[in-house]
Every structure is written in C-alpha cells, then in structure tokens.
C-alpha cells in the first residue's frame, strides 16, 4: 500500500507513525516548508508557546521523560516533533520544499496521482491512499480593511515573523487580540518604543501559570505510571472547558465567574476593564490562557484601541474616531483562513468531482476524516475536529488510528480502496450539527463558523466522545472498491 501524506506537522507525523508501527512502510510525507513541524515551524513570534500543558500536548506513544516547562515553548515543541520523527524512522520519508498542487483519483486504476512542485520542477507520485495533513491554521488571514498597500511602514503576519526586523524602540501596532497576540504582546511590549493594540472583540481569559517544570514534579513524572496519571488529570481538567462551552447557562456561568475573577484581579482600572470585557458567553471564542497579556495592557507605553480600523493610511491605521495611529510597523495577529482547509489545492475524486464542488455548502467530512466520493483519501484535523479545550494531538492520534484501521479493513476485504457511504456521512453530520444547538459556540461569530453560522471547525463534544466514535470503522459504513 503506497501512502502519500501531505504535510509533516503533528498531523502528518501522527499518521506516518501509526502506519509504520503497523507494518505499512511505503509512506512518503510531502512538506511545503523547508523543514517539518507544521504550525510550530511557521509560528516563531516571540512568546510562541502552547497553552495545553506539555504532557498532554505530546503523543501518547512518544512520551518524554521530562519537559523543561509546564507549558512548552515553541522551540521545545519543534524539537520534540523532530526527535519523534527521527526516533520512529519518519524523517527519511519526509520530502521537504514540496508544494502539493493536486491529488486526483483515477477511476480506472483506482489510485491517486499526487502532483507537486519542488524547486520549480513538477513532480508526480502515484499512491493507493492519500492523507491530507495540512491543518486548519496554515494560511495567514489579514484584516479586511481598505488601503493595506498604502501603508509606508513595515508589516508582517504573526505566523510569518520577520526575524530580520528590529522592533527595538519602534512605534508598533498589533492588530488582533486572539491567542497569538495574547502571547506576543507581553513579549514585545518591553522592547518596542510604543505599542498600540487594536482589539475588535474582547476575550475571556484563564490563568496560564507558565514556569520551569518544578524539580519535585519532574522527578515524580519520570515514572511512567505517574506520567500517565498526570496526563489523565490534565485531560479531565481540559474536558471541563468543553463542559462550560456545551452548557453555557450552568457550567459556562461558573467558567465566566472564574475567568472574570482572574480578569478583575489583573485589571484594577475600571476603564481598561470595560474596554477589554467580552460581550459574548464564556467559550464562544477560544478562551485565552494567559497571565501576562492583560497586565501588559496596563503599561504606560501600551495603548489598547477598541475603535474600529476603517482603513490603512500611509502612516498607520485610521480608526472610526478619525484618529490616524502613526506607527513604524504593523503586526497582523489576525489569524488564519481556517474554513478552506487544504484548498486551493486541487482534489478530485470519483467522476472527476472536485472537493471544492463537494464542499460548495461548506467543508464536511465523516468524523472529519473521510469525504464520500473520495476513496481512500483521509483528512487529519479536518472539518469539525478542532477543540476549544482539549489537545489537538489527542484528536490527531484518534484520526491516525482510524486511517490505519480503515486501510486494514480495505485490505482484509480484498479491496484496493474504500469510500465512505454518502448516507453515513450525512447522518453523522446531522448528529454533529444537532449537538451544537444551545452551546456557547453558537452565540457569537468566530473563526470556527462559516458566514451562514455553521460551525465547520469544531468537534461539538468531548475528546473522549471523539475517541469512542473513531475507534472502529465498521464495514457497513463503506463501499469497497476492488482492483479492476
Ligand atoms: P485568531 O484567534 O483568529 O485571532 C485573530 C484576531 O484578529 C482576533 O482578535 C480578531 O478579532 C482580530 N481581527 C481580525 N480582523 C480584525 C480587524 N479588522 N480589526 C481588528 N482586529 C481584527 O488568530 P490567532 O490569535 O492567530 O489564533 C488562531 C488559533 O491558533 C487559535 O484560536 C488557536 O486555536 C491557535 N493558537 C493556539 C495557541 C496555543 O497556545 N495553543 C497559540 C496561538 C494560536 P475578532 O475576535 O473580532 O474576530
């Protein structure tokens, strides 16, 4: 079985690890970047770190004896990804600098043709199965304001940090106050001359007491049983965030109280507090885990602007109150184009149907993994598999195991490929959509949702439910395709 995995971030590495461990060793990973690591390769802004504790933001099958911090920073996570890929024999199978342009199913041969470009040269590979592990957060998005090109200063996106630009003493604007801004603002505030933070919507915060791993805890966690118990503890603590999102009138109110107390403690000034305070239920947007973002807004050289940016001028952003905020540099911490997933990559399934057409009403996939009409094509971190509270790595492992089991199912049935039945995909999707009713996710606009309000990013339940739902692909759910 020839398997091509597109993307060598945590999703691609999880898929390759699972396949290799189970004897499927014809695996090639194609990575657009010069190095593996995915989002952790690209996001190198100051303060880039994970807000999921290290022991759960790591694979269950590659547990480290020791982490340097409770919440790992970017460099350590990237190192961990590389070490894991090395240890499991994945690294030699990664082809970097390779941008996949199309994956096309051949109805006659019942194989996939994967086309890519490497150093300007077109390449082609034939595969029996394709795993698209391109992630949801890989295409930077910019604020939809006019005149961006008019700005005469410097500018870059948080996920494409310009390490060659010296921020020291500069007048800097940060547009956006999401998870990335919450991490980078406290880091750059003491360095720049003046910082203006543009906030469109406030956020709920919970503390993130990031610190070096306490020596005593580190000693205890060197024992595998203790590590397993610690992971379980973190896992259940994070499921509580999902509980809050799922039940905004009960658990969600408790979440808002805890968050509100943390925010009040950090913002004694009532005026600043009023500006920052969110106007939607706890958990509708991602709850930000930070103990240093709000205090950094209290600095005399930091200004929080909540007036809307109406356009960009040559000098800087012009806000609705008529003020031009003159700056030397604009940092766009404005997130990602999330709802397009692997598009604009061309993906064509049976009958030459493109996935863009199959998704005309929005991205959809059975358990976020398989799309009917696209045999033996699998998505990692596909539609409706993001989490507001848990660890994405937990989801990726469940998906990797599902891919492997589905391929084994095909092989056992003597088939060369398998396609999820359309009615199975539809029934599953209806169940997923129904589970969003009454949750906090539906109470505001966010990157999780399409323009018409459907949440196509998030799994509507708990991590445990996802693991149970994906545990066993059933033969009745698929059409098996035999060799012609
Ligand atoms: P994001 O959460 O999408 O935040 C983008 C920010 O830009 C929002 O505050 C948004 O405001 C703002 N924005 C967009 N257009 C604007 C405009 N015209 N004027 C002013 N503000 C504007 O992006 P992100 O912070 O890069 O995070 C994306 C995701 O990456 C996170 O949700 C998380 O899943 C992941 N992430 C995780 C970690 C971690 O520690 N695990 C760290 C960083 C990122 P609105 O809220 O009004 O839209």
Domain boundaries, the chain: 3-138+339-481, 148-204+249-332
**Whether residue 210 has pLDDT greater than 90:** no
For ligand 1, atom 3, name the residue with the nearest CA: 335
The pLDDT-based confidence of 283 (bands split at 50, 70, 90) is very high
Protein residue whose Cα sits closest to atom 12 of ligand 1? 176
Q: 422-434, pLDDT tens digit by residue?
A: 999 999 999 999 9
Mean pLDDT of 322-346: 95
Q: What does the pLDDT read at residue 143?
A: 95
Query: Does a cis peptide bond (omega within 30 degrees of 0) precede residue 344?
Result: yes
Cα of 284 vs centre of ligand 1, distance in Å, is: 13
Tokens of 85: 């890929």
CATH pick for 3-138+339-481 out of 3.10.100.10, 3.50.50.60, 3.20.20.70, 3.40.50.970: 3.50.50.60
- Mutational test site, ligand 1, from 335, 445, 458, max ligand atoms within 8 Å of CB: 335
- Rounded mean pLDDT, 429-458: 94
223-232 residue pLDDT tens: 999 999 999 9
Task: Please give the distance, rounded to the nearest whole angstrom, from the Cα atom of residue 28 to the centre of ligand 1.
Answer: 33
> Which of 315, 280, 327 is CA-nearest to residue 449?
280
DSSP class of residue 373?
A: T
**Residue 108 structure tokens:** 């006659």
Instruction: Give the residue, by CA position, lying nearest to ligand 1 atom 14.
Output: 334
Give percent above pLDDT 90 in the chain: 96
Distance from residue 455's CA to the centre of ligand 1 (Å): 16
Compute the average pLDDT of residues 311-316. Answer: 98
In this prediction, residues 32-37 reach a mean pLDDT of 97
pLDDT value of residue 29: 98
Residue 451 pLDDT > 90: no
Is residue 168 exposed (0-12), middle (13-18) or buried (19+ Cβ within 10 Å)?
A: exposed
Instruction: Output the pLDDT for position 378.
Output: 98
Q: What pLDDT shows up at residue 209?
A: 86
Confidence of residue 389 (pLDDT cuts 50, 70, 90): confident
Would you say the CATH fold of 148-204+249-332 matches that of 3-138+339-481?
yes
Which numbered atom of ligand 1 lies nearest the CA of 71? 40
Mind listing the pLDDT tens digit for each residue in 102-135?
A: 999 999 999 999 999 999 999 999 999 999 999 9
Give the pocket of ligand 1 (CB within 6 Å): 49-52, 137, 143, 145, 158, 175-181, 183, 198, 200-201, 285-286, 309, 333-336, 447
**Contacts of residue 380, Cβ cutoff 8 Å, sequence gap at least 6:** 7, 11, 12, 14, 15, 131, 132, 133, 135, 369, 396, 399, 400, 403
Give residue 339 CA to ligand 1 midpoint distance, Å: 14
Contact in structure between 78 and 174 (CB atoms under 8 Å): no
- Report DSSP state, residue 434: H
Instruction: State in Å: Cα 320 to ligand 1 middle.
Output: 21
Distance in angstroms (rounded) separating the CA atoms of residues 82 and 135: 18
Q: Residue 36 Cα, ligand 1 centroid: separation in angstroms?
A: 24
pLDDT-derived band at 42 (thresholds 50, 70, 90) equals: very high
Computed over every residue of the chain, the mean pLDDT equals 97
Q: Is the pLDDT of residue 327 over 90?
A: yes
Distance 56 CA to ligand 1 centre (A): 23
What pLDDT score does 189 carry?
98
Compute the distance from residue 168 Cα to the ligand 1 centre, in Å.
24
Q: Which atom of ligand 1 is nearest to the CA of 286?
A: 32
The highest-level CATH class for domain 148-204+249-332 is alpha beta
Atom 10 of ligand 1, nearest CA residue: 176
pLDDT exceeds cutoff 90 at 484: no
Quickly count helices (H) and strands (E) in the chain.
Answer: 13, 20
pLDDT band at residue 331 under the 50/70/90 scheme: very high
Mutate to test the pocket of ligand 1, among 40, 78, 141, 179 (most ligand atoms within 8 A of CB): 179
In angstroms, the CA 55 to CA 65 distance is 10
Rounded distance between C-alpha atoms, residue 354 and residue 114, angstroms: 14
Model pLDDT, residue 373: 98
Spatial strand order in the sheet of 27-30: 94-95, 27-30, 3-6, 129-132, 377-379
């Amino acid at each position: 079985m020839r398997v091509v995995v597109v993307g060598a971030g945590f999703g691609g590495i999880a898929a390759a690890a699972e396949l290799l461990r189970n004897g499927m060793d014809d695996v090639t990973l194609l990575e657009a970047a010069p190095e593996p690591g995915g989002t952790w390769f690209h996001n190198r802004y100051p303060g880039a770190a994970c807000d999921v504790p290290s022991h759960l933001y790591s694979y269950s099958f590659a547990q480290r004896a020791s982490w340097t911090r409770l919440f790992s920073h970017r460099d350590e996570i990237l190192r961990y990804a590389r070490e894991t890929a090395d240890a499991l024999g994945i690294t030699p199978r990664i082809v970097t600098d390779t941008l996949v342009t199309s994956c096309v199913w051949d109805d006659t041969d019942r194989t996939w043709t994967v086309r890519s470009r490497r150093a300007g040269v077109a390449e082609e590979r034939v595969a029996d199965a394709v795993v698209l592990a391109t992630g949801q957060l890989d295409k930077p998005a910019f604020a939809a304001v006019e005149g961006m090109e008019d700005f005469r200063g410097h500018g870059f996106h948080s996920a494409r940090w310009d390490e060659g630009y010296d921020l020291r003493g500069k007048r800097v604007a940060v547009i956006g106050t999401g998870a990335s801004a919450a991490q980078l603002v406290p880091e750059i505030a003491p360095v720049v001359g003046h910082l203006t933070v543009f906030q469109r919507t406030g956020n709920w915060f919970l503390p993130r007491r990031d610190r070096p791993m306490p020596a005593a805890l580190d000693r205890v966690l060197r024992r595998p049983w203790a590590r397993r118990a610690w992971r379980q503890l973190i896992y259940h603590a994070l499921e509580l965030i999902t509980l809050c999102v799922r039940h905004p009138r009960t658990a969600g109110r408790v979440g808002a109280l805890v968050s509100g107390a943390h925010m009040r403690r950090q913002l004694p000034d009532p005026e600043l507090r009023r500006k920052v305070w969110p106007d939607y239920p706890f958990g509708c947007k991602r709850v930000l885990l930070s103990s240093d973002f709000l205090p950094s807004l209290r600095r005399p050289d930091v200004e929080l602007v909540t007036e809307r940016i109406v356009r960009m001028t040559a000098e800087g952003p012009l806000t609705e109150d008529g003020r031009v905020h003159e700056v030397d540099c604009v940092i766009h911490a404005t997130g990602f184009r999330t709802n397009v997933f692997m598009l604009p990559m061309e993906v064509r399934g049976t009958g030459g149907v493109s996935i863009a057409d199959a998704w005309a009403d929005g991205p959809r996939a059975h358990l976020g993994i398989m799309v009917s009409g696209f045999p033996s094509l699998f998505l990692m971190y596909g539609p409706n598999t993001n989490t507001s509270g848990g660890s994405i790595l937990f989801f990726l492992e469940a998906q990797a195991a599902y891919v492997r089991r589905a391929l084994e199912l095909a092989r056992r049935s003597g088939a060369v490929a398998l396609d999820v039945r359309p009615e199975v995909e539809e029934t599953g999707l209806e169940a997923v959509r129904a589970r969003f009713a009454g949750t906090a996710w539906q109470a505001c606009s966010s990157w999780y949702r399409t323009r018409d309000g459907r949440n196509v990013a998030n799994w509507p339940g708990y991590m445990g439910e996802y693991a149970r739902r994906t545990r066993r692909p059933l033969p009745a759910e698929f059409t098996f395709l035999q060799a012609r």
